[in-house]
């Protein structure tokens, strides 16, 4: 019964992430998930998020601002962080696997993944 409840919570956490594209922190997921599971703790949300990351069902983003964010989209894509409002959005750029080949040629290493974070001011903040 206990495991069933936990997997229901985990499913719900995953569904929450699939339904939003703002790359929430654990706190943000916690706030949404509490509507459905009022007694859930932040620790449980955190554990489930990290388990989903380990299972490869979601991904964790560390954009360099000290906050872990979570993304329900696991296919390769790049991100933009607004320095003003802190919003993290998907960059509509095609993945660049050739960058890994260049790095391999330059270093002799075997490269199997890469991430790109771009930083600046988002259109909404530019308008203000």
Looking only at residues 76 through 105 of this chain, which bind Zn ion when binding is defined by CB under 5 A? 82, 84-85
- β-partners of residue 89 are 80
- β-partners of residue 60 are 70
Partner whose binding site includes residue 57, from Zn ion, Mn ion, none (CB under 5 to 8 Å by kind): none
CB of 126 to Zn ion, least distance (A): 8
- CA dist 93 to 13, 35, 42, 114, Å? 27, 35, 34, 14
CB of 63 to Zn ion, least distance (A): 13
Partner whose binding site includes residue 96, from Mn ion, Zn ion, none (CB under 5 to 8 Å by kind): none
Question: Which residues contact Mn ion (rule: CB under 5 A)?
Answer: 71, 90
125 is a contact residue toward Zn ion (CB under 5 A):
yes
Q: Pick from 61, 64, 79, 66: which is nearest to 24 by CA?
A: 61
DSSP character for 43? H
- 24 token code pair: 């929430």
Looking only at residues 10 through 39 of this chain, which bind Zn ion when binding is defined by CB under 5 A? none
Name the residues that contact Zn ion, by CB under 5 A.
82, 84-85, 122, 125
């Amino acid at each position: 019964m206990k495991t069933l409840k936990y997997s229901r919570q985990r499913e719900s956490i995953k569904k929450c992430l699939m339904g939003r594209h703002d790359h929430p922190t654990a706190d943000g997921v916690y706030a949404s998930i509490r509507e459905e599971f009022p007694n859930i703790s932040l620790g449980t949300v955190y554990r489930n998020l990290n388990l989903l990351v380990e299972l490869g069902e979601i991904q964790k983003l560390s954009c360099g601002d000290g906050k872990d964010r979570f993304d329900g989209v696991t296919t390769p894509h790049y991100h933009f962080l607004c320095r003003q409002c802190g919003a993290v959005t998907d960059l509509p750029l095609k993945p660049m696997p050739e960058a890994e080949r260049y790095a391999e040629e330059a270093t002799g290493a075997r490269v199997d993944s890469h991430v790109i974070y771009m930083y600046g001011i988002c259109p909404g903040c530019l308008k203000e």
